[in-house]
Each structure stands twice: as structure tokens, then as C-alpha cells.
């Protein structure tokens, strides 16, 4: 069976991995290297090399697909556990940077909530569940469960993970597990307690990263896929997909029994425009936005006094330029040589105009923010910017729209990746592998694919 995977991000690579011993697989990637958004760069400093991840720098194991893939690839000895001290998570509110309470004691001490807000939050286990089947915003869900005050604290922190606004973010697409807990246990607290692993059970760390950055996963996949005979064609832009035929920008055509589009929805729409216009229109209903990261390496002394911070979320309502800050060097000291400190600034959601600035102008804005918010006055030793214009916005009703898209796909064509059923690396791995399994079933269809050239 011949299967073409279009897009060599982690979803496409995972699809190819799932297929590699069961089909004749070709993976087509527009860029010079596979990996898509999953990319690690080496930055030279006078102290040695710092490794900065462009997008994800670690991923959770609660959703097991990515961790499982690491094990299948034999990367056990490359797995590192980033420090997951949630007490270092801060939120900017009313121009103050305040710790987000993550334990009952921290909650009682927190200045973010009034006593009234704290009491309402503590009533969560006794709050009736709404038994909703429809989607709602993350904010509305939290307000129902933990009250408006706590929703206004936790909403921006949770939506911040998706660079989105809690009032517009779909709870089902972003934190569907919370609705599961409510449905199954009638309360988030009760559900979490019930689902807590039993003492003594061995389990992987909550989150993992890799020696050398998450790019290690991409290189291992590329090497082992080639060893298994998968053809990986980089610098290859696909222009059109019809049932059974993939047309490249250079004009040549490849035939396949099934095609997996492991692409952001706008790219998939462009490919299906002529063969499946209704599906292309449905794909375009999924909004995407710009997002970027700027990795900065400072002399360690410049970050003196910030060692209590791990991450800071800055909601849109604060009117600042940047969206968030992650102190990567404190969480993963192996990423940067001693004598230096590595941090990553997220931008694009609070002020979309930053996406259009050149690297030096952007650096100037970020340095001003770091000076005003954190007192960092030194110039960085080195820096690197990454930008994307196709980051999914998981708006209310997202999963229903994805189901509709799936029902409109031409026979033998499948979609996978961050635009659809989960943004995180584990979700992308799972979707890639599931699409591969569905593609393999195409061969059992009674009729061969119709070739419409
Ligand atoms: C800033 C940021 C931080 C993140 N942090 C985390 C995190 O901490 N933890 C976590 O789990 N996840 C995180 N993520 C999410 C995760 O990194 C991405 O969702 C995931 O890597 C997307 O993978 P993908 O394969 O779906 O898409 P992509 O990586 O976008 O891959 C799509 C590929 O398709 C190719 N392509 C497009 N059009 C064509 C065409 N016509 N022909 C051929 N090829 C084409 C592209 O070049 C690209 O390589 C983060 C994402 C971002 C942006």
C-alpha cells in the first residue's frame, strides 16, 4: 500500500512512524528540514553553547503518546525531567507580579483572591454540576465550578498555555479533561483525588524533555524512519491533493492509496481547494493566529534576584507588549552553560503588531519590557527569534467544526496535527498515529480509489 504523508512536523513524522513497517511511505516536507514547529537551535555564547527550543521545550506524560514514542525510539537515556515546581508560576495582575496559588496553603495566603473568592473556591466539591453536553468558554466553565474570582486568576494562566483569551477558548478543546472530571465525579477536586495514582505505583515524571532539546526527538525520528525505508523529501511543497494524487509545486504528480495531511488547517485548505471545496471552506473556519518566541541568553548575574520565577503569564488585560516569560535556564540548567541564564519570551497574542517587527526592533521592545517588569538591564549575550503565523485558536465549538471537516474529507484523505484535536506534542503524536491507522484501513475498501486528474 502506498501512503503519502504531507507535512513533516511531529504529527506527520509520527504518522510515518506508525506506517513505516506496514506500508510504502513517502513524507513530503516544504522546509529544508523536518520537525515543523518542533525545533531546537544552538546559540553560541562566550561561555559555550546554549540550546533554545523554538516552541515546545517539554511535554506532559499524562497524555502518553509522546512519552511512548520516546521509548519506542530507544531514547530512554536522553529523557530529562524538567523541574516542575509549580510554586514558581506567576501571574501579572494589576501591574503586580504575583505567585499563582497551587496548594491549599498558598491559596489561603494568596493576595490574588479575597476571602469571599477563597470560600467560593473551597465550595467547589459541593457545587452542582451542570451536565452540559455543549461546549462553553474556559472562563464560563471555571466560573461555574470555582467562582468568578478564581476564574479570573486561573483562566488567564490556563488559556495562556494556548496564547488565547479564556473568554473565547473552548473548554472542550483545551481542557476537556476538566469537563470529564465534572461529568464523571461531579467535582474537579473529587475527580482529581479519585484519579490520583496509588502510592507506590511507578509512573513517569509529570513532564519530560530531552538532552539537547526537543529537536533530539525529531532527529531520532528522521534517522530511524530513513532506516526503515521511509522516503523523506524535504524542500518539497505540495500544491494540490485529489483522491489518490498529490501534485507538487514543481509540477510532478505522485499517486497514493491514501494521503495524510499533517498540516495546519489553512495549508490543508489550500491543497483541497479544487478537489473538495466544501471541505476547504470548513477548514478555513478554524481560526489561526500569529505567535512567536524570543530566546535570550544573559550573563547569569543579570538575572540575579529572579531565581524564584519559573514562568510568568501576562494577560491581555494588563496592556503589556509580551505574553509570557519562561525561565528555561532555571528549569533546565543543562540547556545553558554555567555563567549564563536562558529565558524565553512569548509574543504575538497581546500585541499582534510585534509579529511584523524585524528582529532588532523586536529585541528593543522585549528588552524594555524585561527592564520595566523584572529590572533586567543588561544586554543579552545572544538571542534568536522564531515566528509562526498558523497557531490554532481553539475557539468555542472547535471540536464540532473538526468533526464536520473530517466528515467532508475526500475518501482516502486524512488530517492530523495541532489544528484539529489537541495542540500539545502528545496530542499531535497521537493524531498522527491514529490517522495512519485509518489510512491503513483504506486498503480494505471494496473499491480502489478513483483517480481524478
Ligand atoms: C510557542 C509554542 C510553544 C509550545 N509549547 C509547547 C509545550 O510546551 N508543550 C507541548 O506539548 N506543545 C507545545 N507547543 C505545541 C507544539 O509544539 C505544536 O503544536 C506542534 O509541534 C505542531 O506540530 P504539527 O505537526 O501539528 O504542525 P507543524 O509543526 O506546524 O508541522 C507542519 C509541517 O507541514 C509543513 N507544510 C506546510 N504546508 C506544506 C505543504 N504545502 N507542503 C509540504 N509541507 C508543508 C510545514 O513546513 C511544517 O513542517 C507549542 C507551540 C508553540 C508555537
pLDDT digits (tens, 9 = 90+) for 386-424: 999 999 999 999 999 999 999 999 999 999 999 999 999
Nearest ligand 1 atom to alpha carbon 271:
41
Number of domains in the chain: 3
pLDDT at 83 over 90: no
pLDDT at 453 over 60: no
Cα–Cα nearest to 30, from 248, 283, 254: 248
Mean pLDDT computed over every residue of the chain:
93
In a 3-state reduction of DSSP, which class is residue 21? coil
pTM of the model: 0.95
Nearest ligand 1 atom to alpha carbon 236:
43
In a 3-state reduction of DSSP, which class is residue 112? coil
Query: What pLDDT sits at residue 140?
Result: 97
Nearest ligand 1 atom to alpha carbon 419:
26
**Is residue 16 in a domain?**
yes
Residue nearest to atom 3 of ligand 1 (CA): 55
Query: What pLDDT sits at residue 10?
Result: 98
118/164 same-domain check: yes
Q: Measure the CA–CA gap between 5 and 28, rounded to whole angstroms.
A: 6
Residues having CB closer than 6 A to ligand 1 are 6-12, 28-31, 36-38, 55-59, 237-238, 262-264, 267, 291, 293, 388, 391, 417-418, 423-425, 428
Distance (Å) from CA 390 to ligand 1 centroid: 9
**What average pLDDT does this structure show over 7-36?**
98
Query: What pLDDT sits at residue 451?
Result: 41
**Is residue 406 in a domain?**
yes
**What average pLDDT does this structure show over 87-105?**
86
Distance (Å) from CA 418 to ligand 1 centroid: 7
**Looking at residue 364, which CATH number applies to its domain?**
3.90.660.20
380/292 same-domain check: yes
Query: What pLDDT sits at residue 84?
Result: 65
Could you tell me the residue range of the domain that residue 249 belongs to? Answer: 2-37+215-286+395-444
Which of 36, 82, 265 for a ligand 1 pocket mutation test, highest count of atoms within 8 Å of Cβ?
Answer: 36
pLDDT level of residue 249 (50, 70, 90 thresholds): very high
423/274 same-domain check: yes
Q: Are strands 89-93 and 96-99 parallel, antiparallel or unpaired?
A: antiparallel
Query: What pLDDT sits at residue 138?
Result: 97
H helices of 347-410, where?
A: 359-374, 398-408
Query: What pLDDT sits at residue 449?
Result: 44
Highest mean pLDDT of the ranges 109-123, 382-396, 438-452 = 382-396
423/282 same-domain check: yes
Query: What pLDDT sits at residue 197?
Result: 76
Query: What pLDDT sits at residue 132?
Result: 81
Nearest ligand 1 atom to alpha carbon 239:
41
**Is residue 51 in a domain?**
no
263/347 same-domain check: no
Query: What pLDDT sits at residue 450?
Result: 40
Nearest ligand 1 atom to alpha carbon 388:
53
Q: Measure the CA–CA gap between 101 and 437, rounded to whole angstroms.
A: 42
Q: Which residues contact 148 (CB under 8 A, 6 or more apart)?
A: 117, 120
Domain end, chosen from 162, 195, 228, is at 195
pLDDT at 245 over 50: yes
pLDDT at 327 over 60: yes
Cα–Cα nearest to 11, from 32, 41, 38: 38
Show the cell assigned to 233.
523529501
Query: What pLDDT sits at residue 205?
Result: 84
pLDDT at 446 over 50: no
**Is residue 231 in a domain?**
yes
**Is residue 187 in a domain?**
yes
276/404 same-domain check: yes
Q: Could you tell me the CA-to-CA distances from 104 to 1, 85, 87, 121, 189 in Å, in that order?
A: 56, 15, 12, 10, 12
**Looking at residue 138, which CATH number applies to its domain?**
1.10.3110.10
**What average pLDDT does this structure show over 345-353?**
97
**Is residue 174 in a domain?**
yes
The alpha carbon dihedral of 403, 408, 412, 413 has a sign of negative
pLDDT level of residue 102 (50, 70, 90 thresholds): confident
**Is residue 323 in a domain?**
yes
The alpha carbon dihedral of 223, 229, 233, 239 has a sign of negative
385/292 same-domain check: yes
Query: What pLDDT sits at residue 452?
Result: 40
270/292 same-domain check: no
**What average pLDDT does this structure show over 59-72?**
96
293/385 same-domain check: yes
Other Cβ atoms closer than 10 A to 446: 4
pLDDT digits (tens, 9 = 90+) for 131-184: 788 999 999 999 999 999 999 999 999 999 999 999 999 999 999 999 999 999
234/360 same-domain check: no
DSSP 168-222: TBBHHHHHHHHHHHHHHHSSHHHHHHHHSPPTT-----SEEEETT-THHHHHHHH
**Looking at residue 278, which CATH number applies to its domain?**
3.50.50.60
pLDDT level of residue 200 (50, 70, 90 thresholds): confident
pLDDT digits (tens, 9 = 90+) for 366-377: 999 999 999 999
**Is residue 57 in a domain?**
no
386/300 same-domain check: yes
pLDDT digits (tens, 9 = 90+) for 271-312: 999 999 999 999 999 999 999 999 999 999 999 989 888 899
Query: At residue 339, what are phi and psi to the nearest 5 degrees?
Result: 95, -5
Query: What pLDDT sits at residue 285?
Result: 97
334/410 same-domain check: no
Amino acid at each position: 500500500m502506498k501512503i503519502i504523508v504531507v507535512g513533516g512536523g511531529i504529527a506527520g513524522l509520527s504518522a510515518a512512524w506508525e506506517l513505516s513497517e506496514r506500508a510504502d511511505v513517502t513524507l513530503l516536507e516544504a522546509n529544508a528540514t523536518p520537525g515543523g514547529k518542533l525545533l531546537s537551535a544552538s546559540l553560541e555564547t562566550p561561555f559555550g553553547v546554549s540550546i533554545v527550543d523554538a516552541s515546545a521545550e517539554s511535554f506532559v506524560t499524562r497524555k502518553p503518546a509522546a512519552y511512548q514514542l520516546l521509548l519506542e525510539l530507544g531514547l530512554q537515556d536522553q529523557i530529562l525531567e524538567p523541574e516542575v515546581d509549580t510554586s514558581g508560576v506567576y501571574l501579572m495582575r494589576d501591574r503586580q507580579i504575583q505567585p499563582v496559588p497551587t496548594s491549599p496553603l498558598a491559596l489561603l495566603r494568596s493576595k490574588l483572591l479575597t476571602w469571599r473568592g477563597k470560600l467560593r473556591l473551597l465550595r467547589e466539591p459541593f457545587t452542582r454540576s451542570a451536565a452540559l453536553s455543549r461546549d462553553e468558554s474556559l472562563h464560563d466553565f471555571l466560573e461555574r465550578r470555582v467562582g468568578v474570582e478564581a476564574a479570573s486568576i486561573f483562566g488567564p494562566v490556563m488559556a495562556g498555555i494556548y496564547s488565547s483569551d479564556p473568554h473565547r477558548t473552548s473548554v472542550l478543546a483545551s481542557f476537556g479533561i476538566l469537563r470529564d472530571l465534572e461529568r464523571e465525579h461531579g467535582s474537579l477536586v473529587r475527580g482529581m483525588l479519585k484519579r490520583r495514582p496509588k502510592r507506590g505505583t511507578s509512573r513517569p515524571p509529570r513532564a519530560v524533555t530531552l538532552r539537547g532539546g526537543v529537536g533530539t526527538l525529531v532527529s531520532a525520528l528522521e534517522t530511524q524512519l530513513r532506516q526503515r525505508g521511509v522516503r523523506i523529501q524535504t524542500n518539497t511543497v505540495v500544491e494540490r491533493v485529489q483522491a489518490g494524487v498529490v501534485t507538487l509545486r514543481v509540477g510532478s504528480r505522485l499517486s497514493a492509496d491514501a494521503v495524510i495531511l499533517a498540516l495546519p488547517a489553512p495549508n490543508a485548505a489550500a491543497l483541497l481547494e479544487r478537489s473538495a471545496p466544501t471541505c476547504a471552506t470548513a477548514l478555513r473556519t478554524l481560526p489561526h493566529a500569529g505567535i512567536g518566541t524570543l530566546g535570550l541568553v544573559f550573563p547569569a548575574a543579570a538575572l540575579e534576584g529572579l531565581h524564584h520565577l519559573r514562568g510568568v503569564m501576562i494577560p491581555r488585560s494588563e496592556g503589556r507588549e509580551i505574553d509570557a516569560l519562561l525561565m528555561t535556564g532555571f528549569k533546565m540548567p543543562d540547556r545553558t552553560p554555567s555563567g549564563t541564564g536562558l529565558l524565553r519570551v512569548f509574543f504575538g497574542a497581546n500585541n499582534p503588531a510585534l509579529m511584523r517587527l524585524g528582529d532588532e526592533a523586536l529585541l528593543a521592545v522585549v528588552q524594555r519590557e524585561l527592564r520595566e517588569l523584572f529590572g533586567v538591564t543588561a544586554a543579552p549575550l545572544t538571542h534568536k527569534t522564531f515566528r509562526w503565523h498558523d497557531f490554532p485558536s481553539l475557539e468555542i465549538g472547535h471540536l464540532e467544526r473538526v468533526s464536520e471537516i473530517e466528515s467532508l474529507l475526500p475518501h482516502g484523505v486524512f488530517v492530523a496535527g495541532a489544528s484539529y484535536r489537541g495542540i500539545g506534542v502528545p496530542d499531535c503524536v497521537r493524531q498522527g498515529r491514529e490517522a495512519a491507522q485509518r489510512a491503513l484501513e483504506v486498503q480494505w475498501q471494496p473499491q480502489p480509489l478513483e483517480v481524478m486528474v
